[in-house]
Amino acid sequence: MQKKKQKNYPLVLNPDDQIIAEFTNYLSITLRNARIKYLKKWTKIRKFECSIEDLELDSEPFNNQMEEQIEEMLTVIYKNSRYSLVG
């Protein structure tokens, strides 16, 4: 008989303890949801951003002919100008 009576009692006897337990449960759920929201935002940002080290050098041309032609033209212009910067 004694065991049946003990099973029917609530786990928390004091009403203040019950309020604290409910508030603690509410906080844990709220913090878990906030963490999930933060992680979702973080993964979206992480997918969008990438580090410089991860990027390949796509901007380097295989053929530097155009660059060499421009440099030659500039050296000719500077040599012929009054304010010569190059030898």
Q: Per-residue pLDDT tens for 11-48?
A: 656 878 889 989 999 999 999 999 999 999 988 887 77
Query: Residue 44 has what pLDDT?
Result: 85
Per-residue model confidence as pLDDT tens digits over 45-63: 877 777 666 666 666 555 6
User: Longest C-alpha distance within the chain, in Å?
Assistant: 114
In the DSSP assignment, the letter for residue 62 is S
Q: Which residue has the higher pLDDT, 8 or 70?
A: 70
* Mean pLDDT estimate for the chain: 76
Distance CA(80)–CA(71), nearest Å, equals 14
Core vs surface per residue 4-42: b (16+ CB within 10 A) or e: eeeeeeeeeeeeeeeeeeeeeeeeeeeeeeeeeeeeeee
Query: Residue 78 has what pLDDT?
Result: 76
